[in-house]
């Protein structure tokens, strides 16, 4: 990476500042989300206005509002599926309450825009319409997990988001802390316009997740829900359910993600990775043998699986991501052979190899490292791309 690119990384850190924890664990779950909406209100309005401007006219805005209402209707329909797990049903209701509370806190009922002056299908545009519209955005970049000799697992994730102009998406870097299912403490990195879940997040000391975008062919389903909805539910429920159960019970989806989860169960540390896209779900697990690893970027890992038909990306993008995976594979050979793999993962995140596709590139907004053993979970979060002199937001749970 050039000196000018390193300078830009440092400039972006200075622009957005350090990680700012927003601790709302004193509130109930919906109340915490109301507070989150309040905190990011000005930036949410700014992002929403730009989203509407970029749609290119009234017809496209109307189309998006209709899509938002279709998603809300599908979510309501999921609540009435007789075979739905009761924990998932309760979590869905909580999600709806939190989305509405977030919209209220963000003042979306007072948001005005020239292309929202008209009613859509004889109904005024509601705050929940705008809140759901904002959730129609896929994020997340690259994730890896490695099993150590003692059975512990290290997870790392670099959260990238390209901005035409610095500060266009982020006004500051936030970690949101709140109460999830059964009063468990949860936290995660926040995009100002999204609910928690679709980046990197954790619940208590026995669950952590990280999410990567998949480029999926657009399909229309009457009963589809958003990938970001599943991401929130996964964080809220933590280790109460598997990601495979969530995806299989709640699909189809409007788009897709790869979700990697590390959790404690039955006296060991397990890793589950689920790729879900449209109507397809593929799950895999990390082998218990020391040195085993999984890695994910923004493409479906194995195109020979049924989910492979859902990918829609250019050959150039596919090749770029495969190069990224191959580079990580080479770096991991060094990490696995080290007597200090955790230090090796931090060095991996500081790597400049690959320029724009390196781990430490100028689009990284934040990164996570988590080491989970049966006895202890340690979490480190850094602002921007990893640099040797970083001050980390750290947590032991």
Confidence of residue 140 (pLDDT cuts 50, 70, 90): low
**Per-residue pLDDT at 191:** 97
* Rounded-to-10 torsion of CA 40, 381, 165, 103: -20
**Per-residue pLDDT at 247:** 98
Query: Mean pLDDT across the stretch 362-387?
Result: 93
Is pLDDT of 27 > 90? yes
Copy the structure tokens of residue 65. 């509002």
Q: What is d(CA 91, CA 189) in angstroms, rounded to the nearest whole number?
A: 20
Copy the structure tokens of residue 58. 């009234």
User: What percent of the chain stands above pLDDT 70?
Assistant: 95
**Per-residue pLDDT at 2:** 42
**Per-residue pLDDT at 162:** 79
pLDDT, tens digit (0-9, with 9 covering 90-100), for 335-358 = 998 899 999 999 999 988 777 778
Confidence of residue 163 (pLDDT cuts 50, 70, 90): confident
Q: What is the mean pLDDT of the chain?
A: 92
Confidence of residue 119 (pLDDT cuts 50, 70, 90): confident
The more confident residue out of 254 and 163 is: 254
Which residues neighbour 333 within 8 Å (Cβ) at sequence distance 6 or greater?
Answer: none
Query: E strands along 204-342, which residues?
Result: 207-213, 256-265, 268-277, 280-285, 293-296
**Per-residue pLDDT at 396:** 67
**Per-residue pLDDT at 246:** 97
The phi and psi torsions of 32 (rounded to 5 degrees) equal: -65, -40
Is pLDDT of 82 > 70? yes
| Contact call for residues 34 and 44 (beta carbons, < 8 A) | no
Q: How far is CA 387 from CA 19, 238, 332, 347, 390, in A?
A: 15, 31, 19, 9, 5
- Listed range (86-100, 290-304, 326-340, 381-395) with the worst mean pLDDT: 381-395
Query: Mean pLDDT across the stretch 175-181?
Result: 97
């Amino acid at each position: 990476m050039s000196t000018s690119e390193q300078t830009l990384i440092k400039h972006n850190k200075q622009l957005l500042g350090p990680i700012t924890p927003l601790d709302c664990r004193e509130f109930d779950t919906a109340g915490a989300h109301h507070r989150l909406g309040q905190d990011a209100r000005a930036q949410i309005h700014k992002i929403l206005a730009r989203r509407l401007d970029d749609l290119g006219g009234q017809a496209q805005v109307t189309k998006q509002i209709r899509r938002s209402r279709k998603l809300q209707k599908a979510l309501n329909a999921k609540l009435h599926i007789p075979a739905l797990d009761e924990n998932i049903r309760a979590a869905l209701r909580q999600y709806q309450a939190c989305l509405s509370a977030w919209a209220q806190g963000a003042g979306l009922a007072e948001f005005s825009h020239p292309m929202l002056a008209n009613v859509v299908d004889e109904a005024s545009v509601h705050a929940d319409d705008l809140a759901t519209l904002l959730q129609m955005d896929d994020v997340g970049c690259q994730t890896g997990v490695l099993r150590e000799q003692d059975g512990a697992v290290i997870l790392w994730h670099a959260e990238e988001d390209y901005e035409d102009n610095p500060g266009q998406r982020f006004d500051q870097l936030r970690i949101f802390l709140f109460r999830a299912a059964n009063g468990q403490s949860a936290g995660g990195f926040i995009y100002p316009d999204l609910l928690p879940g679709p980046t990197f997040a954790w619940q208590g000391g026995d669950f952590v997740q990280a999410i990567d975008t998949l480029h999926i062919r657009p399909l229309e389903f009457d009963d589809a829900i958003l990938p970001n909805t599943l991401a929130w539910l996964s964080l809220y429920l933590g280790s109460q359910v598997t990601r495979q159960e969530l995806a299989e019970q709640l699909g189809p989806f409007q788009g897709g993600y790869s979700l990697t989860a590390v959790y404690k169960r039955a006296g060991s540390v397990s890793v589950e990775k689920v790729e879900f896209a449209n109507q397809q779900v593929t799950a895999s697990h990390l082998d218990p043998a020391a040195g085993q690893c999984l890695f994910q970027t923004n493409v479906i890992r194995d195109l020979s699986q049924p989910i492979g038909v859902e990918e829609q990306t250019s050959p150039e993008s596919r090749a770029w991501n495969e190069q990224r995976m191959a580079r990580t594979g080479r770096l991991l050979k060094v990490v696995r052979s080290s007597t200090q793999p955790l230090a090796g993962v931090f060095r991996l995140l500081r790597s400049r190899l690959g320029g724009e596709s390196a781990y430490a590139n100028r689009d990284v907004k934040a990164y996570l490292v988590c080491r989970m053993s049966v006895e202890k979970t340690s979490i480190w979060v850094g602002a921007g791309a990893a640099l040797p002199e970083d001050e980390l937001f750290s947590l032991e749970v």
